[in-house]
Structure 1
Amino acid sequence: MRRVERCDCWREGLSARLMEEARIPPRYRRCDLETFVTYPNEKLLGAVKLARRFAAEFPAIQKGLCLIGPPGIGKTHLAVAVLRRVILTKGARGLFYDTRDLLRVIRSTYNPLVRTAEMDILRPVMEADLLVLDDLGSEKTSEWVEETMNLIVNTRYNERRHTIFTSNYDDTPDDADPDCLKSRIGFRIHSRLHEMCEFLEFDGADYRHLPPNGGVDDLVTMWKVKPNRRTLPARAKGPIRAQLRQPAQGKGPDLGWTGGKAGS
């Protein structure tokens, strides 16, 4: 019996449809692992190496990825490059969402004038073979946000579906820091992420500031002169109180800042 084989045009059509359904923003549609510009940065090179291995071995991998670092260092490029690679080479159903945009779209379904149901948005997110959630932690925290994100993350965790997260927030052990990843996304999601993802924290030059004809040497220079993003002003140890100065004759009491006079 003669075996029927799919023609190349069918495969190309399938890839094109999967790419269209992946919702990759136009700015990132050409992102590729081979075009990612690297420079002597050990942690960045390690992240690129792991991203390539992830794409090559997908879906026979144990964990997803969580790329953490400051803006502009290539986290989204790497995440989308992996997503594109597994769609085009493995025929995987992939999906990209900026976390804030995903929550906005879900919230819009509560509008009675919108005919799209909440599950119409959530189902592809929870069932995609590979999901990229960009900018995790940037969303304004609330009980609804945490419960919605918990539903998505837990469902994908239970179904063993792989996810790539990116975030600008450090994964520090200081639970009291309101700007650490755990505080931004909640303890439950943070715990799940450590079970389902390999964390890659790296720093580097901001590619968005690279001159049009810039190259590796420029990236190295930019990285070396870049201020340490973890060097922040010390937090006040107690509540800040307004200090009253002695008023000038005939004037009301003056607050100890440049905001004006009390009672004026």
Structure 2
Amino acid sequence: MSSISDKCPYKKCDGSSLIWIMDHEEGRDFARECDCKEFKKLRFKLSNAQLPSEFADTTINSFDVEIYEKAESQEQATLAKRYAGNFVKNFDLIREEGKGLYLYSRTKGSGKTRLAASILNAIVKVYDKDGRRVSVYYSSTADLLGEIRRGFDKDADVKSSDVIDAVRNVDLLVLDDIGVEKTGDWVEETFTRILEHRLLNMKLTIFTSNLAIDELDSKYPEGRVRDRIKKMAFPVKMPEEQIRSMLAEKENEDMLNLLLG
């Protein structure tokens, strides 16, 4: 009989993802897979997707619309949550259409990234469970540009062309905070190349931004980024209300309760 370890999230095995059972009639041990094997596969896949650990366990169901204080915000969040759920539910059909989502609001910390991460998590879990394959990747636009720039260094482990190819071809890309990065001709040309390839090959992209799609021209004056995103994604208005600080306060309250016993 195998020992139980904290390395197993279900407290069923010793962390090896195998549960050893003694067959007294046969006089030998045999093993069966623990539920944590699938859990670890999901975590590994999400880790490779570069999703921040803060959002590793976020789900659409746990996206709390009541944390918003204004009635208008709750209505917008409820609608956005419904869109997110149906995006996952109808993912196979949506892949055929090649249309992603564009989550936007001017307010920082309004829940855009959290909801986008929840969709990515749901897609990974559904597809791994059903034995289908879907590659996913998350990045903020600033981090992505930084990674591409580092790839130009002659000693770089990962070349810029490899980064661009990976982002152009991944099945589901979450591109976070588009419009906050420092822009210029090179940045606009780089994003145009990436978006054009994804558009033509019907690869799904979920964007988050503090700008509406039509406002992207203020950052990308050539208009090519805006035009492609219009074709690539359905706009989803998020509330103009910050919840990041409220979530932090709730987490502090939960921590206090633990510390006080």
TM-score by length of 2: 0.71
3-state SS of the aligned residue for 1:95?
strand
1:201 aligns with 2:228: no
- Structure 1 residues 126-141: aligned runs within 5 Å: 126-141=168-183
Q: 2:103 aligns with which of 38, 59, 67?
A: 67
| SS of equivalent to 1:34 | coil
Unaligned runs of 5+ in 1: 1-6, 173-179, 215-264
> RMSD across aligned C-alpha pairs, in angstroms?
2.0
Give the Cα separation in 1 of the matches to 2:250 and 2:47. 31
Name the structure 1 match of 2:82: 49
Within 5 A, what are the aligned runs for 1:1-264?
Answer: 11-12=38-39, 14-39=41-66, 40=71, 41-61=74-94, 62=97, 63-69=99-105, 70-91=107-128, 92-172=134-214, 180-186=215-221, 187-210=223-246, 212-213=249-250
Give the Å deviation of 1:114.
1.5
Q: Is the Cα–Cα contact under 8 Å of residues 44 and 204 in structure 1 kept in the other structure?
A: no
| Aligned residue-pair number | 201
Separation of aligned partners in 2, 1:213 and 1:109: 40
TM-score w.r.t. the length of structure 1 is 0.71
Q: Structure 1 residue 209: deviation in Å?
A: 2.4
Relative to 1, partners in 2 of residues 1:207 and 1:66: Cα closer, same or farther, differing over 3 Å?
same
Residue deviations 1:158-177 (CA, integer Å, cap 9, x gap): 110100000012345xxxxx
- Structure 1: distance between partners of 2:52 and 2:37: 25
- 1:152, 1:113 → 2: CA distance? 24
Q: What secondary structure is seen at the aligned counterpart in 1 of 2:92? A: coil
Matching residue's letter, 2:224: R
Letter aligned with residue 77 of structure 1: R
Instruction: Give percent identity, aligned residues only.
Output: 30
Higher share of residues assigned helix: 2
SS in 2 for 1:100: helix
1:94–1:130 CA contact under 8 A, matched in 2: yes
